[in-house]
């Protein structure tokens, strides 16, 4: 069942104790990192987010060097793919009560690249999900292992032509795609939802905002209503595996709206490709 290489706390393996709190309660964090030309793309940025998550949840961070070395061992027989690092609080504690001195479990695994990376970069259809994201500032931004909302939203996407689901929060504000962050341009400003109450602060999202700022594009992170999307001149979504995906169609209730692939979207795609080639992260 597990032909792909896996290291569990530094040792080859494919199982975890059922007492692990990640298994019992989703008491953990994870990162999925692009492996490209034998490099772990944006590794330090991923580790910064993981470390922030550890600090928020009170899980000891195992250290960037250890995780890097183990990730490279897992990836050693290949040059491309995805490396996932999953870190839990480990076993112990009574019920929800955490152990006083947690011994985290780290699981590092390699996975092949999704088959549709090239296709989605030509443009995807976004579907509005009925599953809303709950508002929880204490868990916003970090990539924790409580992902039932994303799972329920994924179950809504039954049409295989749909590339991504758009999630609003329970107050109706636009937050993100199920596994991506969302951007849109109107005039010369690049907008993206503020993620202080829910959502994941994507590695690619932060990179896009930096690129935009360097290019003199005005950026704006704020609460965004769905209606604002319909006035957008171009829309794209991002994540650290797929890079920049243009949104060319939107299905939401009765409305279907379309956009051409925008010039700004294309320039970010080119910059992303160049960044992957050069390794200048």
Catalytic positions, written as ranges: 32, 143, 176
| Integer angstrom CA distances of residue 7 from 24, 88, 134, 219 | 21, 14, 33, 40
Which one among 33, 40, 83, 145 touches its own copies, defined by CB under 8 A? 145
To the nearest whole angstrom, how small is the minimum distance from the Cβ of residue 120 to its own copies? 13
239 near 251, Cβ under 8 Å? no
CB under 8 A: which stretch of 118-126, 133-141, 250-258, 260-268 binds its own copies? 133-141
Contacts of 245 (CB under 8 A, 6+ apart): 120, 121, 123, 124, 163, 164, 180, 236, 237, 238
Closest CA to 48 of 128, 139, 142: 142
Asked if 100 interacts with its own copies (CB under 8 A), we say: no
79 φ/ψ angles, rounded to the nearest 5 degrees: -120, -15
Q: Going residue by residue from 6 to 35, which x/- string records binding to its own copies, judged by CB under 8 A?
A: x-x----xxxxxxxxxxxxxxx--x-----
Residue 190 or 198 with smaller CB distance to its own copies: 198
Is 254 a binding residue for its own copies by CB under 8 A? The answer is no
Q: Verify binding: residue 3, its own copies, rule CB under 8 A.
A: no
Closest to its own copies by CB, 150 vs 238, is 150
- 237, 227 contact by CB (below 8 A): no
Quick one: which H or E segment has residue 85?
strand 81-88
Of 38, 170, 188, 189, the residue at the interface with its own copies (CB under 8 A) is: 170
Question: 3-class SS at 163?
Answer: strand
The reply on whether position 203 binds its own copies by CB under 8 A is: no
Helix (H, G, I), strand (E, B) or coil at 172: coil
**Which residue has 């809303």 as its token pair?**
132
> What is the torsional sign of CA 166, 131, 180, 212?
positive
Closer to its own copies by Cβ: residue 23 or 68 = 23
Tell me how far apart the alpha carbons of residues 146 and 16 are, in angstroms, rounded to a whole number: 18
What residues from 30 to 59 belong to the interface with its own copies (CB under 8 A)? 30, 57-58
Q: How far is the CB of 122 from its own copies (least distance, A)?
A: 20
Shortest Å, Cβ 241 to its own copies = 9
* Two tokens, residue 250: 């939107």
Per rule CB under 8 A, count of chain residues that contact its own copies: 57
Q: Minimum CB separation from its own copies for residue 203, in Å? A: 16
The footprint of its own copies on residues 172-191 (CB under 8 A) is 178-179
User: Which residue ranges make up the site for its own copies (CB under 8 A)?
Assistant: 1-2, 6, 8, 13-27, 30, 57-58, 86, 88, 91, 94-98, 107, 109, 114, 131-132, 134-136, 138-139, 144-155, 157, 170, 178-179, 198
């Amino acid at each position: 069942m597990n032909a792909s290489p896996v290291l569990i706390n530094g040792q080859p393996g494919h199982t975890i104790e059922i007492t692990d709190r990640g298994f019992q309660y989703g008491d953990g964090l994870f990162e999925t990192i692009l492996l490209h030309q034998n490099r772990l793309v944006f590794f330090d940025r991923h580790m910064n987010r993981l470390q922030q998550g550890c600090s928020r949840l009170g899980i000891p961070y195992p250290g960037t060097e250890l995780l890097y070395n183990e990730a490279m061992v897992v990836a050693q027989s290949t040059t491309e793919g995805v490396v996932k690092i999953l870190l839990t609080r480990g076993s112990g504690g009574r019920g929800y009560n955490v152990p006083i001195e947690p011994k985290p479990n780290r699981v590092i695994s390699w996975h092949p690249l999704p088959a549709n990376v090239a296709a989605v970069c030509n443009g995807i259809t976004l579907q509005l999900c009925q599953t809303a994201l709950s508002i929880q500032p204490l868990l916003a931004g970090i990539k924790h292992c409580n992902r039932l909302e994303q799972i329920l939203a994924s179950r809504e996407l039954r049409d295989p032509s749909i590339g991504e689901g758009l999630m609003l929060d329970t107050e109706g504000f636009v937050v993100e795609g199920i596994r991506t962050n969302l951007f849109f341009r109107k005039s010369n400003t690049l907008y993206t939802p503020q993620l202080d109450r829910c959502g994941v602060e994507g590695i690619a999202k932060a990179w896009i905002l930096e690129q935009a700022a360097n290019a003199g594009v005005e950026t704006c992170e704020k609460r965004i209503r769905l209606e604002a999307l319909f006035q957008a001149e171009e829309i794209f979504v991002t994540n650290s595996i797929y890079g920049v995906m243009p949104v060319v169609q939107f299905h939401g209730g009765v409305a279907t709206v379309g956009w051409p692939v925008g010039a700004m979207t294309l320039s970010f795609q080119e910059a992303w490709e160049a960044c992957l080639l050069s390794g200048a992260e």
